[in-house]
Structure 1
């Protein structure tokens, strides 16, 4: 099998590897779609970020957003069988701690915790070895590209919206219109939020967000007054998907009094020059949200057919594994939608 590795320095390598065999409780998947995440670009593709154990790349096959078809099962598997179509929750935890039992394997603190594409082989290969418990079966309506988009980006956006309790009572602002921001806008619409506006410095991304129906209008970060007017005086909920200090500032600035701000985008920096007039007096609620749970990811997959929503609409570029280098260059440019690898 082929596998894509990320040596750092904005480079990729394709290596030939022996085909893996499933052990107890494992399944072997033929990769059908594997999308590229912004965290891979930020922390692995450009440079190997060391320090946070959750971001210590171990020189494995890259890609933590895979979907594929079961081609072999190991001893002790009870739920999946050959031919099943699945997406993979991208962190495999110990399965025993409180966080894992609740489905938040992302928060598992056991030494056994291993993220696909970071500490164990991921989806940028012809085959993927996965724990059966990490796999979510895809309904017929949901394509492999849909499943790959759900595996991280759409799941992350959905969790943030759920934590903020987004509903038809809310006007929604999305800051950062990359793939996660597009997901937040599309899902926010399905949850009833209206109107929805987006912010991004990239005119290409602003245009794509409106074209896809992720937002009703999109603005540059310096167009706060125009955005507030569209929102009827400000957003009830603002979701920052940019992970940048200026983006978080925009999210806080665009919400109305007693609004909720969800911080989804990874990255450092939150500057609030005057806390009392900015946060305390308007009673702004700040919510941190990291990835999602197995339960909510399964719930999202089951809701997609009822909503008539294909997450793959955010995929703007598809490359074969052999062209992984070109795929990462497009993703790194941050002017497109989601970028995917296929067999």
Structure 2
């Protein structure tokens, strides 16, 4: 099969690689759609922290936001999975440690992360090998575009849950990228008054098309009682800004990751009696995200600017966008093109 292989910073090729064969407890998925993520870009540039900690090495096969159809199953897997449309969890815990036993497989010390950590090949390929335990079936109401946005949506839904919002609460989302805009959409669906803070005029202009209560540059931000501030940016200065802006006794949620350490003053955290919530992974939010998409409560499709084939992955990671791309922040890959 064909797969995108990253062999070093900005070194890549689409190669013919052996097609996966399912072992016990595993399935093979024919990939329909894959999202290109900021994490993939960090691997492309060589900045991703896992490369420096030894949790990931080149060559690497990227792709963790995906959907497709099960085409083969291991001998012990229920054959009713064959032909089913699905997406899946990125985080593959060992299944034996105390964290996995407690339902915290996404922070298992020995976990694989598909297309990210431990060498498990990702979905930027024609097929993907994945444990059946990681699968989440997609209903007909969730098409391929939305299906490949379930994984980022799961991170966003967990962020909204972490914000502990009540209907009518004012929430501020920092960063109008894919995760930030999904946080904003899901928070609005939960009844919150949603505002988005961004920097580039292009991203702000697109965010305004989605109908939120307010979309602001920093100098224009109104002084509102923010019941929660969700940092979905990659700016190292915004975690402290989130803490500065949130109402005392309320919540800040950190789902974005900067390329360098972010500093907050824990004295402010304590003296404002603020709860800080960190979010890693979509795992516990995947089913809820599928339900939100299937019901029509959230439509993530405007976030996808373009869909291209495997041969264009390297260019996309380098910042290229098709001339006819829309305004959204996300580019999808269809390996069948």
Task: Name the TM-score, length of structure 2 as normaliser.
Answer: 0.89
Structure 2 gaps, min length 5? 322-326
Give the 5 Å matches for 1:38-53: 38-42=38-42, 44-47=43-46, 49=48, 50-53=51-54
Structure 1 counterpart of 2:232: 241
Segment of structure 1 superposing worse, 115-124 or 71-80: 71-80
**What is the DSSP-based 3-state SS (H/G/I as helix, E as strand, rest coil) of the residue aligned with 1:22?**
coil
- Partners of 1:46 and 1:178 lie apart in 2 by 19
Post-superposition shift, 1:80? 4.7
In the other structure, the counterpart of 2:262 is: 270
Q: Alignment RMSD, CA only?
A: 2.3
Contact 1:330–1:336, Cα closer than 8 Å, also in 2: no
Q: Does 1:281 align with 2:271?
A: yes
Distance 1:190 1:301 in 2: 14
DSSP-derived class of the 1:31 partner: strand
The 1:143–1:165 alpha-carbon spacing in structure 2 relative to 1, beyond 3 Å, is same
| Offset of residue 201 of structure 1 | 1.1
Structure 1: how far apart are the matches of 2:54 and 2:169? 37
Instruction: Report the CA distance shift for 1:95/1:331 in structure 2 as closer, same or farther (over 3 A).
Output: farther
1:222 paired residue number: 219
Q: Which residue of 2 aligns with 1:162?
A: 161
1:222 shift after superposition: 3.2
User: Separation in 2 of the partners of 1:281 and 1:149?
Assistant: 38
- The 5 A counterparts of 1:145-160 are 145-151=145-151, 153-160=152-159
* Pairwise CA distance, 1:10: 3.0
CA contact 1:61–1:117 (8 Å) conserved in 2: yes
Task: Output the CA distance in 2 between the equivalents of 1:167 and 1:298.
Answer: 21
Once the two structures are superposed, the pairs formed by residues 157-236 of structure 1 within 5 Å of their partners are 157-194=156-193, 196-213=194-211, 215-224=212-221, 226=222, 228=223, 233-236=224-227
Q: CA deviation at 1:258?
A: 1.9
CA distances 1:208-236 after superposition (whole Å, capped 9, x unpaired): 112123x3221123333x3x2xxxx2310
Structure 1: runs of 5+ lacking an equivalent: none
The structure-2 alpha-carbon separation of the partners of 1:80 and 1:175, relative to structure 1 and needing over 3 Å to count, comes to farther
The Cα shift of 1:199 comes to: 1.2
Residues 71-80 or 123-132, more deviating: 71-80
In the alignment, the residues of structure 2 paired with residue 331 and residue 47 of structure 1 have an alpha-carbon distance, to the nearest angstrom, of 18
**Residues 4-59 of structure 1: CA deviation (Å, up to 9, x unaligned):** 122343343211112221111111111000101111212x11016434355x1352
List per-residue Cα deviations over 1:146-194 (Å, max 9, x = no partner). Answer: 121112x111111111122123142110001111101110111111111
Contact 1:158 1:300 in 2 (8 A): yes
- Which digits, 9 at most, give the CA deviation of each residue in 1:111-144, with x for residues without a partner? xx21111221111001111110111000111112
Alignment of 1:7-156 (within 5 A): 7-42=7-42, 44-47=43-46, 49=48, 50-54=51-55, 56-78=56-78, 80-110=80-110, 113-118=111-116, 119-151=119-151, 153-156=152-155
SS in 2 for 1:212: coil
Q: Structure 2 CA distance, aligned partners of 1:328 and 1:51?
A: 20
Q: Taking structure 1 as reference, are residues 99 and 222 closer, same or farther at Cα in structure 2, changes over 3 Å only?
A: farther
| Number of residue pairs matched by the alignment | 326
CA distance in structure 1 between the partners assigned to 2:214 and 2:13 by the alignment? 40
Partner of 2:324: none
Q: Using the alignment, how far apart are the partners of 1:201 and 1:260 within structure 2? A: 23
